[in-house]
């Protein structure tokens, strides 16, 4: 592979282009920081709720005094806090910032987006605390009490409209693949959410159609909201950080369109073995298998782009998190496609194995990519370096070791749990006892993850508070200028 070299850019062009980039970043600074900082808040909140839920599974008498802290409520509150709170707010921040940069257009009327941020946060607050105080609804992923959704709908409407408005004002004629993903996401998510609200709560369908709509929604939130935004972010950051265009742009476009085509078919794989028409589940299994196409397209592309540049992982925090997330995307999708086979589902369904898969997707893939994005985006918005390499390294290693342990413990425990549950000769209580050490390991992994989150939050708040070294004006490169730094071995 020949090394790409560009002609030496003319200084004047460089300054002009840097000024344009800085002006675009400045135009979306306020709203993006509002979404990003509230995302970090809900990540911390979600971690606390997760730890309580996790400890309760192996210490049954932990916090039994109050109905507010029963497992059922705390677990649902965790899901809302990290799903609609952290991951969705981070996704909105990503959509806004990436769309402005890639369209080379400034954000207009940012005040409406402050309103959207406020509405969204009120919605998450009502969802999380509504559930804790007993108003949750037993529809997974849509368990927020009925008074929360209107806030999301209003906020989503504004966010989608503003993202499209930026796109329409674009100065860059070419649509980069990330923009395809973002446009897909901001079109799909409001539509999914509205249809699901409508058919489950406002004009409820009955009987078996209800779980079908429920899982069509639940699955597509993952695949047509979190996944495209996270993949879009990786498609921007990996080439940008290493300074090398994506290996095959053609493949990336194929990847986008095949995701759009196949993912929405796959939702019924959550109901394999359930009382739904057999052809529906089979169609979803086929859709899940077809997902190998976009997944392979992404995997090959990212790998080939990085080839020869893996050493950059030592230097760039954003790249580390993003590449970790991109690898996890391949793993979670391969695993998911196999789980959609009836033979595998027979063992894995209703076990901790699914929770392991859920976190491989929602954490190792989506959350890690958003961490990477934040490490790249926030300094460019505030004009300040991160204050401490040590905090970033603590975050990375806690997250990487934590989620790997989490996944391994629950995958092994969950698989054997499923095998035992399918054997009528094994008493249920024995299976419960068998899972205990695995659940304890998950809690320890959770403590590690939470430690990482706290390190991340400290870095984040310090950056916002103006602690880092100032970097305004010139190019947005966050690389020290040549020869001002004494060389030494980089630490991991």
Partner 1 sequence: MTPPDIALLATVVGSIVLFGGAAAIALGWAFRDGQFDNFDQGSKSIFGPDEPVGEATDAFPGINVEVEEATAPW
Q: Do 241 and 318 touch, CB atoms closer than 8 A? A: yes
176 binds partner 1 (CB under 8 A): yes
Residue choice 1, 2, 4, 424 for contact with partner 1 (CB under 8 A)? 4
By CB under 8 A, the count of residues binding partner 1 is 77
Residue choice 288, 301, 417, 435 for contact with ligand HEM (CB under 6 A)? 288
Residue 241 three-state SS: helix
Taking CB under 8 A as the binding criterion, the range among 76-84, 252-260, 284-292, 342-350 that sits at the site for partner 1 is 252-260
For ligand HEM, the closer CB: 226 or 374: 226
DSSP bridge pairs for 470: 384
Binding mask 69-88 for partner 1 (x = CB under 8 A): --------------------
Q: Do 369 and 27 touch, CB atoms closer than 8 A? A: no
Nearest distance from C-beta of residue 435 to ligand HEM, angstroms: 10
Binding to partner 1 (CB under 8 A): which residues in 253-272?
A: 253, 257, 260
270 binds ligand HEM (CB under 6 A): yes
| CA separation for the pair 473, 63 (Å, rounded) | 53
422 binds partner 1 (CB under 8 A): no
Binding mask 341-380 for partner 1 (x = CB under 8 A): ----------------------------------xx----
For partner 1, the closer CB: 86 or 386: 386
For ligand HEM, the closer CB: 100 or 399: 399
3-state secondary structure labels for all residues of 289-337: HHCHHHHHHHHHHHHHHHCCCHHHHHCCHHHHHHHHHHHHHHHHHHHHH
Residue choice 30, 140, 419, 467 for contact with ligand HEM (CB under 6 A)? 140
- Among residues 56, 31, 221, 184, which one has the least CA distance to residue 110? 31
**Binding partner selected for residue 425 from partner 1, ligand HEM, none, CB under the kind-specific 5 to 8 Å limit:** none
For ligand HEM, the closer CB: 73 or 244: 73
Cα angle at 246 between 311 and 18, to 5 degrees?
85
For ligand HEM, the closer CB: 167 or 365: 365
* Distances 211 to 104, 223, 270, 336 between C-alpha atoms, Å: 43, 18, 10, 20
For ligand HEM, the closer CB: 312 or 419: 419
Binding mask 188-207 for partner 1 (x = CB under 8 A): ---x---x--xx---xxxx-
Nearest distance from C-beta of residue 176 to partner 1, angstroms: 5
357 binds ligand HEM (CB under 6 A): yes
In this structure, how many other beta carbons lie within 10 angstroms of the beta carbon of residue 253? 14
Query: Rounded to the nearest 5°, which phi and psi values hold at 199?
Result: -85, -15
467 binds partner 1 (CB under 8 A): no
Taking CB under 6 A as the binding criterion, the range among 81-89, 128-136, 150-158, 484-492 that sits at the site for ligand HEM is 81-89
For ligand HEM, the closer CB: 28 or 74: 74
77 binds ligand HEM (CB under 6 A): no
82 binds ligand HEM (CB under 6 A): yes
For partner 1, the closer CB: 208 or 426: 208
In this structure, how many other beta carbons lie within 10 angstroms of the beta carbon of residue 197? 18
366 binds ligand HEM (CB under 6 A): yes
Residue choice 108, 426, 433, 477 for contact with partner 1 (CB under 8 A)? 477
Burial code of 275-286, b = ≥16 C-beta within 10 A, e = fewer?
Answer: ebeeebbebbbe
Contacts of 7 (CB under 8 A, 6+ apart): none
- Among residues 45, 57, 63, which one has the least CA distance to residue 355? 57
First to last CA, the chain: 28
* Distances 470 to 26, 87, 223, 464, 474 between C-alpha atoms, Å: 15, 29, 38, 12, 11
For partner 1, the closer CB: 73 or 244: 244
| CA separation for the pair 260, 382 (Å, rounded) | 35
Q: Do 334 and 289 touch, CB atoms closer than 8 A? A: no
**Binding partner selected for residue 424 from partner 1, ligand HEM, none, CB under the kind-specific 5 to 8 Å limit:** none
Query: Rounded to the nearest 5°, which phi and psi values hold at 106?
Result: -80, 155
Residue choice 176, 189, 321, 365 for contact with ligand HEM (CB under 6 A)? 365
481 binds partner 1 (CB under 8 A): yes
54 binds ligand HEM (CB under 6 A): yes
482 binds partner 1 (CB under 8 A): yes
338, exposed or middle or buried, with CB in 10 Å at 0-12, 13-18, 19+? Answer: middle
Angle between the N-to-C axes of helices 227-242 and 292-306, in degrees from 0 to 180, rounded to the nearest 10: 20
Strand positions, DSSP E, 129-255: none
**Binding partner selected for residue 66 from ligand HEM, partner 1, none, CB under the kind-specific 5 to 8 Å limit:** none
302 binds ligand HEM (CB under 6 A): no
- Among residues 335, 259, 246, which one has the least CA distance to residue 290? 259
Site residues for ligand HEM per CB under 6 A:
46-47, 50-51, 53-54, 75, 78-79, 82-83, 86-87, 140, 222, 226-227, 266, 269-270, 288, 291, 295, 332-333, 336-337, 339-340, 345, 348-349, 354-355, 357-359, 361-363, 365-367, 446, 449-450
């Amino acid at each position: 592979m020949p090394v790409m070299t560009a002609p030496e850019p003319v200084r004047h062009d460089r300054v002009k282009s840097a000024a344009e980039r800085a002006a675009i970043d400045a135009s979306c600074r306020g709203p993006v920081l509002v979404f990003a900082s509230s995302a970090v808040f809900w990540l911390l909140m979600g971690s606390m709720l997760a730890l309580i839920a996790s400890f309760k599974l192996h210490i049954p008498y932990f916090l039994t005094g109050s109905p507010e802290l029963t497992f059922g409520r705390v677990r649902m509150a965790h899901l809302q806090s990290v799903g609609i709170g952290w991951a969705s707010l981070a996704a909105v921040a990503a959509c806004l910032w990436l769309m402005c940069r890639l369209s080379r257009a400034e954000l207009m009327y940012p005040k409406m987006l402050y309103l959207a941020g406020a509405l969204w946060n009120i919605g998450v607050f009502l969802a999380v605390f509504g559930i804790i105080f007993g108003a949750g609804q037993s529809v997974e992923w849509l368990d927020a009490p009925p008074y929360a959704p209107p806030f999301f709908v209003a906020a989503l409407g504004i966010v989608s409209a503003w993202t499209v408005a930026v796109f329409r004002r674009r100065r860059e004629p070419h649509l980069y693949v990330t923009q395809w993903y973002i446009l897909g996401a901001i079109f799909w998510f409001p539509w999914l959410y509205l249809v699901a609200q409508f058919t489950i709560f406002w004009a409820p369908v009955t009987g078996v159609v209800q779980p079908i709509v429920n899982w069509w929604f639940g699955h597509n939130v993952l695949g047509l909201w979190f996944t495209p935004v996270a993949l879009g972010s990786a498609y921007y950051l990996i080439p940008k950080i290493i300074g090398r265009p994506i290996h095959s742009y053609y493949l990336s476009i194929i990847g986008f369109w095949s995701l759009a085509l196949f993912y929405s078919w796959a939702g019924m794989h959550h109901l394999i073995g359930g009382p739904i028409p057999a052809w529906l589940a089979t169609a979803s299994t086929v859709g899940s298998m077809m997902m190998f196409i976009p997944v392979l397209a992404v995997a090959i592309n990212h790998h080939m782009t990085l080839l020869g540049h893996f050493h950059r992982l030592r230097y760039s925090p954003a790249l580390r998190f993003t590449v970790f997330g991109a690898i996890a995307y391949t793993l979670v999708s391969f695993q998911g496609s196999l789980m959609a086979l009836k033979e595998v589902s027979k063992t894995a369904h209703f076990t901790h194995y699914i929770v392991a898969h859920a976190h491989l997707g929602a954490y190792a893939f989506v959350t890690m990519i958003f961490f990477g994005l934040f490490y790249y985006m926030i300094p460019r918005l505030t004009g300040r370096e991160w204050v401490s390499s040590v905090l970033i390294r603590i975050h990375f290693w806690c997250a990487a070791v934590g989620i790997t342990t989490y996944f391994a413990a629950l995958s092994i425990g969950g698989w054997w749990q499923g095998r035992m549950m399918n054997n009528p000769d094994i008493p249920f209580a024995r299976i419960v006892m068998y899972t205990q050490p695995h659940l304890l390991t998950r809690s320890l992994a959770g403590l590690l993850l939470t430690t990482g989150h706290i390190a991340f939050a400290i870095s984040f708040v310090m950056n916002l508070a103006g602690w880092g070294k100032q970097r305004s004006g010139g190019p947005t490169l966050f690389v020290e200028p040549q020869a001002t730094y004494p060389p030494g071995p980089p630490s991991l």
